[in-house]
Structure 1
Amino acid sequence: MPRLLHYSDIEGVYDDPDRLARLAGRIEDLRGPDALVVGTGDDTAPGVLPLVARGRQSVAFFEAVRPDAETFGNHDFDYGLDATRAVVRASPQRWLSANVRDGDRPFGHEEGVTASTVLETADARVGLVGVTDPLTREMSPRANGLTFEDPLAAVERELAALRGAGADYLVVLSHLGGMDDALAERVDVDAVLGGHLHVPRLERVAGTVCTRPGANGHAVVEVDLAAGTATRHAVDGATPDADLREYFETRRREAGLSQVVGHVERPIERTRSHRYDGESRIGNFVADAYRWATDADCALHNSGGIREGPPLAGDVTVADLASVVPFDGPVALARVTGAELRALCREAHSHAHGESRWLAHVSGLRVRYDRDASEVLDLRVGGELVDDDRTYRLATNAYLTVAAHEFPTLTPAHCVGSAAVQYEVLADYARATGIDPEREGRVELR
């Protein structure tokens, strides 16, 4: 009964030593001679401790869990290619990447990265191939020296080699997100173990088992390849790895992020719905901080740039705020026309992955938007109707000026200045003004 134990997108769990220890404990509980442990990307970053350790904190988890194979997610390149290579060299698992290239060679070739491999369990040979979303070049600017082949074609190429090597089962380790269905429909494999999207998944597509554990180490998915079934196991209740928990508790203390910068009386939620369903208190807080730091007319922050986690409540530390925006890019000041502001608001609405999502949190702006017509009905800055020909000062995060997949209207040419790193701006704003955001009707979706 060959089994796969699948984790993915654990990123923020490094800032929760107890849950991280229970994740390791759950994997140990499920492990056996018939099982392979595999990860499908974004398992080194982002997060507060990852930001400080440049992703190297993941090695301690990998050494404790001893995964068999892993592929790259877009955030695994957040700190540059050399940092990624260092993690690959130091970690025990086989890294698989069939479609990521560095010049004329596969990325990580010298560090032992291969496109695919065949691994043996007690009673089967399992062929594994890893692929990464080609949009990684835009989502993680420090990966922009890489090129990405068509992942579906890369998988097809490797499957022939794996069959020739005598694999009994064929499995894709995918950080493709919404492309997993197309992959399952195109290639003949037993399972597509996915990541990138944070919504858990246990489904069959074209007869192929397709899974996602969800983000931040809350669960492990167990796939029975012989039966073609999958089960999601929560880490709650697992016996924690005490040594791992102590190690990460010590690392958090040493990171110097424990200073209290404000107090929250009413908890500020940051669940998925608070990030993508329109205006939220957490989004208003972030956008207000950016506008305050740059003295801008208005501000815009992408919903995906706010990470899910426990609500801000009680005493709030620098680490708490860094967990909201755990990236090392600065806040940027851009000059945009009113027409470009209108375009940004149109780009803020998405139907990707079958969902209607609002991708922007704003400050100084009020927007009324018709989702059915994809039309901005009303747009105001400082209470006044936006003039398409006027120039406005817009605060945002620098990432959006170089990552064209979310707000393509913004470009590096729009930048005219910058402030501190994002979480430092949040901390400074909290010290200066407190933390008590309100919903004010900034975004009205029809």
Structure 2
Amino acid sequence: MPRLLHHSDVENVFDTPERAAALAGRLRALDGPDAIVVGTGDTVAPGVCSLVTRGRQAVDFYAAAGTRLETFGNHEFDYGPDALREIVAASGPTFVSANVRDADGEPFGRAEGVVPATVRTVDGDRVGFVGVTDPATDSLNPSAASLSFTDPIAAVERAVDRLTDEADPDHVVVLSHLGGGDEELARTTDVDAILGGHVHDRRVDVIDGTLLVRPGVNGRAVAEVELSGSGTPTARLHERDGADPVPKLRATLTDRLERAALDEVVATVTEPIERGDAVVHGGECRVGNFVADAFRWAVDADVGLSNAGGIRSGDPIAGAVTKATCIGLVPFEEPVVRAAVTGTELRSILREMAAPDVDFGADDWWHGHVSNARVVWDADAERLREATVGGDPIDPDATYTVATSEYLLHSDHEFPTLEERHRAGEGGIQYEELYRYAAERGVDPAIEGRIRIVHGADPARADT
């Protein structure tokens, strides 16, 4: 019975070489003549090690894990299309992508061996694979702005038709980095399984007879999928921890990080600062306050704003805070910018921190953090009940400056009110501003009531 071993959204696991090596070790331990190792994106970036190597740590990982097929996540494009082409050419796996197009409209990476679909024989069965990427990637990632991402459902349907005509596979599997789009893909296409990513939750589910699997983020688990001769495939998740690390990968990643010399201590944390997804997307949190405060300080703005999705999850920040710590929080080579907005626009921006207008993550996720502002959000009515800056109500006709990531000026996926026309100034690279702020002001954020999520008529009832 063919088995698929699936990793996705590995992201900053490379910043802890022991864990990355254990992830590769878990995949190796599960691998065999009846199996194939596949990935579904966000292996190239983000992370400290990714910045140091410009994404080429992924090449090391693919070799150690035995990955044979991969597709593109939105973070594969963090260093631009040309850098990604070089990584694809240097990597062992075949990249499968049916809906990414170059600036001239041609399939991305064709010269480097990228194919829309392929067939592999696994344990005697012909398994067809199609790859697709979130069509919002050109908005999510400014480095991908020159590319286009076509409708993934239409791309899968065309690829499946071609596979059926030319190869008549026994099974068809989609390698997907669509996130929330996987459900519609499962309902509208005739495929056996969707191996997904982009959304960081773990999932093993069946939708209209199609298996949908996500192993979660940071390489904490891998999925093992068994393709049945008849009936729906099955899957289970295997934890990374406890696997024997691959020594060569551990040594290579350790050497890469040590050469970068990012261990300079800039501050000390006495009370550990949590930064898991549930914390960062749960409303006000200490790590969100730290980032928003640093942004506002960096460009001397009225309000600091950090999108929750830009703060990378990981172990709590404790003890020594190094440059690597700050890079690991926001590992993107984009500056902090100052935007000038009206009071009316600012209220819209603050409203856009709430989940209803964002199609990423769980329905109740919170998507922003602020400095020098306070908001009360009515989750039942889905409205902004109160909003202040510096303790004063927002004047709809006044002008306010907002410090935030440059990404939010480009993206219409998050905080669509913010646009390039609002740019009024620019600071340094985000993580550099974090460690400048940490060195000068320290790192001791507190929960201050900046964000209150209430329900209906009871403003005292906070969503905890």
TM-score range, shorter chain: over 0.9
CA distance in 1, matches of 2:383, 2:188: 36
Amino acid at match of 2:322: T
Is 1:173 matched with 2:175?
yes
User: 1:93-131: CA deviations, max 9, x gaps?
Assistant: 110110111123100011110000001123111100000
Is 1:364 matched with 2:372?
yes
CA distance in 1, matches of 2:109, 2:29: 32
Residue 457 of structure 2: aligned partner: none
CA distance in 2, matches of 1:119, 1:272: 36
Amino acid at match of 2:120: L
* TM-score, structure 1 normalization: 0.98
User: 1:134-165: CA deviations, max 9, x gaps?
Assistant: 00010011111111111001101111121221
Question: Which of the numbers 184, 188, 202 marks the counterpart of 1:182?
Answer: 184
Is 1:272 matched with 2:280?
no
Q: CA deviation at 1:65?
A: 2.1
CA distance in 1, matches of 2:213, 2:322: 35
Runs ≥4 residues deviating over 6 A: none
CA distance in 2, matches of 1:300, 1:291: 8
User: 1:278-334: CA deviations, max 9, x gaps?
Assistant: 100000000001111111111111000001000110111111111111111110011
CA distance in 2, matches of 1:13, 1:128: 26
Residue 214 of structure 1: aligned partner: 216
Question: Which of the numbers 353, 377, 387 marks the counterpart of 2:385?
Answer: 377
Question: Which of the numbers 283, 295, 298 marks the counterpart of 2:300?
Answer: 295
Q: CA deviation at 1:393?
A: 1.3
Question: Which of the numbers 407, 410, 414 marks the counterpart of 2:418?
Answer: 410
Residue 443 of structure 2: aligned partner: 435
Amino acid at match of 1:388: P
| Partner secondary structure for residue 202 of structure 1 | strand
Residue 333 of structure 1: aligned partner: 338
Q: Which moved more, 1:275-284 or 1:157-166?
A: 157-166
CA distance in 1, matches of 2:131, 2:11: 19
Residue 39 of structure 1: aligned partner: 39
Amino acid at match of 1:70: E
Report the identity percentage.
52
CA distance in 1, matches of 2:57, 2:217: 17
Residue 225 of structure 1: aligned partner: 227
Residue 194 of structure 1: aligned partner: 196
* TM-score, structure 2 normalization: 0.95
User: 1:2-51: CA deviations, max 9, x gaps?
Assistant: 00000000011110100100111111100011101100011110111112
User: 1:207-234: CA deviations, max 9, x gaps?
Assistant: 1111001011111100001171101000
CA distance in 2, matches of 1:321, 1:274: 18
Q: Which runs of 5+ in 2 are unaligned?
A: 455-464
CA distance in 2, matches of 1:150, 1:404: 17
Count, aligned residues = 446
CA separation of 1:301 and 1:210: change in aligned 2, threshold 3 A: same
Amino acid at match of 1:319: A
| Partner secondary structure for residue 357 of structure 1 | coil
Q: CA deviation at 1:366?
A: 0.7
| Partner secondary structure for residue 332 of structure 2 | coil
Q: CA deviation at 1:404?
A: 1.1
Q: Which moved more, 1:131-140 or 1:61-70?
A: 61-70
Q: Which runs of 5+ in 1 are unaligned?
A: none
Q: CA RMSD in A?
A: 1.0
Amino acid at match of 2:150: E
Residue 48 of structure 2: aligned partner: 48
Amino acid at match of 1:247: T
CA distance in 2, matches of 1:357, 1:223: 29
Is 1:29 matched with 2:29?
yes
Question: Which of the numbers 388, 396, 419 marks the counterpart of 2:396?
Answer: 388
Is 1:98 matched with 2:98?
yes
Amino acid at match of 1:238: A
CA distance in 2, matches of 1:101, 1:433: 45
Q: CA deviation at 1:354?
A: 5.3
